[in-house]
Chain A
Amino acid sequence: MPVLELESAGVSVATPAGPDGTGEKVLLHPTYLRLTQQRIGVVGANGSGKSTLARLLNGLVAPTTGRVLVDGLDVARRGAEVRRRVGFCFTDPAAQLVMPTCVEDVELSLRRLERDPARRRERALAVLAEHGLAAQAHQSVHDLSGGQRQLLALAGVLATDPAVVVADEPTTLLDLANSRRVGDLLMGLPQQLVLLTHDLDLAVRCDRVLVVADGRVVADADGPTGVAAYVDAVDRAAHDGHEGPA
């Protein structure tokens, strides 16, 4: 398994100076993590810093302090090499699919790996067939159902055979059947998986679960324990809310 390391990595952004005059918002406080498990779940509220944490892993966000290493490669300095190892799947596949038809979108991923157009087409068709999208190969990506679109986005990511797959809430927009299908696909991957999700049934199946709140990793345990900690924290917050603000 690849090794993902955060060495005191944190992210903050400049904002218009607030009442305290700092003008800085911390998205992720300096964090130490060493991720070596195969399936790592990340849970937490909207806006808790989950996405920032995920985007650090492939250099979409650069740490403003500390460093992030993927198999010892500094993400900030060797971004291109890191992105070749780390595939990233977004919540909304529509943003990720850029070519008109399914087979062409997968071919776009393969451009760097396969220079010969005929062989590239062959490989792209094989990737689509692997994900049950062979019949849709020449269809417009806009004609696909939501579930098929997410499968295609994943196919595009997996086509380049990355060592790590980071998925940012890949099932949030999907119906039950499709979210199960995408979830099972992700859970069955031979690659290392970092899965951000609100689907706790999926998170429980992970080897390790990180709970993120207010820009900090507040719990870090095996699947069932981590998810229980998250549910507890939410229950407590709701309870305190009913008692009146602290």
Chain B
Amino acid sequence: MSSPLLVGVHQPGDSWLHRCPTGVKLLGLAAFSLTVVLTRSAAAAPVFLGLALLAAAVGGVRLATLARATRAILVLAVMAAGFQWWIDGPAKAVETLVDLVALALAAITVSATTPVNAMLDTLVRAARPLRVVGVDPERVALTISLAIGALPGTLALALETRDAARARGLGRNPRVYLTPFVVRVVARAHEQGDALAARGLGD
């Protein structure tokens, strides 16, 4: 099973972007995203795309990773662009399409050059001031990492359940595979809760 979700996108490396503090990268991504969204100019769109590609090149992000991120956003971007062509004309449509691809590439570049644990450390530090209102930063970080980790696990469960239904010749009826799938996801959540408690996380 080599679905993109199961492999994860982080690529270990030693580029300038890899060594750049995670907080700086996240703030940079936020600033870049805001600039892209707020700048209403068709001429600026290719510049943003160029910047995103430059960042990806500096980070040494693999072409396959970039292609996958582009493909993932492309359906949505084409739909949005088609709608804008109809409302505002071709210039606006191209701007939207190129902007969305640039944002996706910038985001994947940050993900590819930042290990999840570094992201967690940054979040813990960022959430620290919230401690005064009773928020435990470690718990916030753990929740986010669980949500990220749950995706491939849940996908694997879905594929297994579908195969089991198929093996019994029960492929057609969604209830037949959705019911055991939901039951298994909940059971997995319980097991994972036990495992986290056993590792003393959240104590």
Contact = CB atoms under 8 A, between A and B. Distances in A.
A109 B117 CA distance: 12
A140 interface: yes
Interface string B164-203: 0000000000000000000000001001101111111101
Contacts of A95: 188, 191-192, 194-195
Contacts of B191: 90, 92, 95
A117 B198 contact: no
A60 B200 contact: no
Contact of B195 (A79, A98, A100, A107): A98
Interface stretch (B26-34, B55-63, B74-82, B146-154): B146-154
Contacts of B153: 94, 142
A138 interface: yes
A230 interface: no
B116 A100 contact: yes
B200 A99 contact: no
Nearest to B188: A95
B198 A83 contact: yes
A87 B198 contact: yes
A60 B194 contact: yes
A96 B195 contact: yes
B117 A99 contact: yes
Contacts of A197: none
B153 to A, nearest CB: 7
B116 to A, nearest CB: 5
Contact of B116 (A88, A104, A156, A157): A104
Given A88-B198, A94-B153, A107-B117, A83 B203 contact: yes
B8 A60 contact: no
B149 A80 contact: no
Given A95-B191, A138-B12, A60 B117 contact: no
Interface in A129-172: 138, 140, 142-143, 156-157, 160
A100 B148 contact: yes
A108 interface: yes
Contact of B203 (A79, A90, A101): A79
A84 interface: yes
B23 interface: no
A112 interface: yes
A143 B6 contact: yes
B23 to A, nearest CB: 13
Contact of B200 (A83, A90, A92, A94): A83
Contacts of A107: 117
Interface in B31-54: none
A87 B197 CA distance: 10
Contact of B192 (A87, A98, A120): A98
Contact of B194 (A90, A101, A120): A90
A80 B194 contact: no
A19 to B, nearest CB: 27
B136 interface: no
A156 B201 CA distance: 12
A111 interface: yes
Contacts of A83: 197-200, 203
Interface of A: 55, 58-60, 79-80, 83-84, 87-88, 90, 92, 94-96, 98-101, 104, 107-109, 111-112, 117, 120, 138, 140, 142-143, 156-157, 160
Given A98-B196, A138-B10, A157-B199, 7 more contacts: A79-B203, A84-B200, A87-B199, A92-B191, A98-B192, A108-B145, A112-B200
For the complex of A and B, list the 6 residue pairs with the smallest distance between their C-beta atoms, beginning with the closest. Answer: A80-B203, A88-B198, A95-B191, A96-B195, A83-B200, A100-B8
Interface of B: 1, 6-8, 10, 12, 115-118, 121, 138, 145-146, 148-149, 152-153, 156, 188, 191-192, 194-201, 203
